[in-house]
Amino acid sequence: MSYGYLKHATEMIPLLPVVLALVLPTSNPIIRRDDRPDSAYCNLGSQARALVSIGRAGDGTLIGSRWVLTAGHVARSLSERQPEMRSVDVGGVTYAVKATFVHPEWTEMGPHDIGLLYLERPVAGVIPALLYRDDAEKGIVATLLGHGMTGTGATSDRIEDGRARGATSRIDSVDARWLYFSFDAPPSGTELEGALGAGDSGGPALAVIDGKTFIVGVSSAGYDGKDGPGSYGAVDVFTRVSTHADWIDKVMASATSATSGRASGRGNGGRGSRGPRRFSSQ
């Protein structure tokens, strides 16, 4: 299998407008089915009130009034910027990042690709997504969101137009650290089946369960499809939130009052074994 972009896809799920965050990004997301209108994916993305834009580094999800969950490599990238350049965008409002945290066992292209951002001030008017803590992810239909490149699974053409998009897909398989989504060609797949585009690293896989929106996965990397990145047959790999919930809880509990703006628990930064390509715009 060749190395390709990460993707997100799942069946149509009603997203709660108050839970997910509409962000107007500098690049735009989601590789979609070629037999569905782009407007449907834009409409799904417009409901995403807790979606956070981290610029060209990727995306994240608001999980607390001052906390953003993202990929470890995205948090690491942000921590290496000058302090005045460490910021995110939520609903068109810019928030400075006070501190960044990367899972201590993270390695480049390895497992534990998860990180947290602690904002200088609370985000108002957005209900954070909840952490999924059960072990029943397989078969769940999730909504995948981001701000990367867009196009269809039938062509390699990609564009950027600054609009948020969402897609749906079913979790095909699960292991101790990862969730896997495949980008199925029509007529298979969900009504708004899709994949991630370049720049979507750190974006969420969200599921509405009993009327509440949970984040089940964080986009990390993926494998090419039949015709390259984001084409039909591509497989997206998401960091599994449920098996990292304890680490997230510990960081949030111990660091809420922290005053340091330096990155903590940054991992060794080494290059992992040969694997899927990052879903990065850089």
Pinpoint the alpha helices (H) of the chain: 38-46, 72-79, 245-255
pLDDT at 130: 98
252 and 130 Cβ atoms separated by less than 8 Å? no
| Range in 27-36, 48-57, 185-194, 260-269 with the lowest mean pLDDT | 260-269
Domains defined along the chain, listed by start: 3-259 (2.40.10.120)
Average pLDDT, integer, range 78-91: 91
Beta carbons within 8 Å of 114's beta carbon, 6+ residues apart: 69, 70, 71, 72, 102, 103, 106, 218, 239, 241, 244, 247, 248
222 and 4 Cβ atoms separated by less than 8 Å? yes
pLDDT band (50, 70, 90) for residue 140: very high
- What CA–CA distance (Å, rounded) separates 126 from 50? 6
158 and 198 Cβ atoms separated by less than 8 Å? yes
Average pLDDT, integer, range 93-109: 94
pTM score of the predicted model: 0.79
Residue-wise pLDDT tens digits, 22-74 = 222 223 357 777 788 888 888 887 788 899 989 878 899 999 999 999 999 99
**pLDDT greater at residue 152 or residue 3:** 152
pLDDT surpassing 50 at residue 13: no
Average pLDDT, integer, range 2-13: 32
Q: What is the DSSP track for 28-84?
A: ---EE-TTS-HHHHHHHHHTBSSEEE-GGG-EEEEEETTEEEE-HHHHHHHHTS-GG
